[in-house]
Amino acid sequence: MAPDPLLKAAIAHWGPRFVANGVVLTDFEEVAGSLTSYSGWCRAWSERAAHHEKLGREALAHKHFLTAGECLQRAGVYYHFASFLFVNDVPQMKVAHKKQIECRQAALPHLRPPGERVEIPYQGKTLAGILRKPAGIDKPPVVVMAVGLDSTKEEGDAYEAPFLARGVATLIFEGPGQGEAQYDFAIRGDYEVPVKFVLDFVGTRRDLDAERIGMWGVSLGGYYAPRAAAFDKRIRACIALGGPFNWGANWDNLPELTREAFRVRSHCRTDEDARKNANTLSLEGVARNITCPLFIVNGRLDRIVPAADAERLAREVTGPVELMMIEDGNHIATNRAYRWRSQSADWMKEQLK
């Protein structure tokens, strides 16, 4: 029997990311190897997630809180990857999504440093986020973190850790079309609108230094972050990881799973409607308004966002810019995360001194 092209694409595109962001390599190999069709993806990953959740719940019962935090954090990541692109079966996706939220929420008090769920007022509802602050620092600077099309705050631990270790707080949140907000709000190109509400929220926190705010974004968030920086000058520095310059321009080259997830999270009925929305995610005529320092990362071998998009962004901004193009890197160079994660956090720490 010929291999399922969706399953083959999912494994080829996302394997390095899974392992870099908290999935145990043997788990990835075993779960991926057990599948013959993408239709079984969410179920298989949820079953493996449940194993880690059970370990975490047992540790909680024995008051082994560090172990509980580790296991429940890992379970949340697994449930996330069960649901992250599974829009072909939304009811099944929602079950796994609910579980990922529950597991990371249960882990937060026991992480080092701990985390706090926050709910940011937005258009009569809220945007969910997780705030973590480095231990022993009064009013630290903060990096506001924008996730991508298929990432959520539950995937954030590996992204947060380098900043927290350097004395920078992290606020990872889910905007329109993302995570918990995907059900109420469609993806929108003018992402500066929700970011304004997030920065306003930072300004209400007496335990954060609202004069030292950085912005960070991964994948589609690598578009959202510089887009927000072009409009909101409260952002002192920005990191853009693997973001498109114009999402619609590359529409026909996107993987099928990615296009379908964008359609669903854009609340669009047809592929053509989704393409129209994709064309609103653009830095055309906007990039030149980015004046804060900008750090851009991508892999030359990216099969989702052309490497040329990162190079164009670097050319068109008017502020200081550093471009890290990793020649043997895939999308966001997750196969070479050691090349940029610590280094970009060092850069941000310097900018927010």
**Number of domains the chain contains:** 2
Q: Report pLDDT digits (tens) over 134-176.
A: 999 999 999 999 999 999 999 999 999 999 999 999 999 999 9
Residues 156 and 185 in one domain: yes
Residue 255 predicted with pLDDT over 70: yes
Please report the pLDDT score of residue 196 as a whole number.
98
For the domain that residue 28 is a member of, what is the CATH number? 1.20.1440.110
Residues 160 and 285 in one domain: yes
The continuous run of DSSP H or E covering 192 comes out as helix 192-203
Residue 8 pLDDT grade (very low, low, confident, very high; cuts 50, 70, 90): confident
| Residue at which a domain ends, from 78, 111, 144 | 111
Longest dimension (CA), the chain: 60
Please report the pLDDT score of residue 187 as a whole number.
98
Residues 82 and 132 in one domain: no
| Residue at which a domain ends, from 111, 145, 172 | 111
Residues 38 and 151 in one domain: no
Query: What is the pTM for the complete model shown?
Result: 0.96
Domain of 134 in residue numbering reads as 115-353
Residues 215 and 171 in one domain: yes
Residue 1 predicted with pLDDT over 80: no
Please report the pLDDT score of residue 5 as a whole number.
86
Residue 9 pLDDT grade (very low, low, confident, very high; cuts 50, 70, 90): confident
Distance CA 93, CA 160 (A): 25
Residues 212 and 318 in one domain: yes
Mean pLDDT, residues 242-256 = 95
Of the residues 219, 266, 282, 344, only one is catalytic, namely: 219
Residues 267 and 282 in one domain: yes
Residues 104 and 157 in one domain: no
Residues 224 and 122 in one domain: yes
For the domain that residue 352 is a member of, what is the CATH number? 3.40.50.1820
Mean pLDDT of the chain: 96
Please report the pLDDT score of residue 2 as a whole number.
56
List the single range of 3-12, 127-136, 196-205, 246-255 with lowest mean pLDDT.
3-12
Please report the pLDDT score of residue 13 as a whole number.
78
Residues 106 and 125 in one domain: no
Question: Is 34 known to be catalytic?
Answer: no
Strands 125-132 and 115-122: antiparallel
Residues 231 and 343 in one domain: yes
Q: Report pLDDT digits (tens) over 265-323.
A: 999 999 999 999 999 999 999 999 999 999 999 999 999 999 999 999 999 999 999 99
Total H helices, total E strands in the chain: 12, 8
Residue 46 predicted with pLDDT over 80: yes
Residue 341 predicted with pLDDT over 70: yes
Residues 79 and 195 in one domain: no
Q: What percent of the chain has pLDDT over 90?
A: 94
Residue 121 predicted with pLDDT over 80: yes
| Residue at which a domain ends, from 62, 96, 111 | 111
Residue type, 163: F
Distance CA 14, CA 297 (A): 18
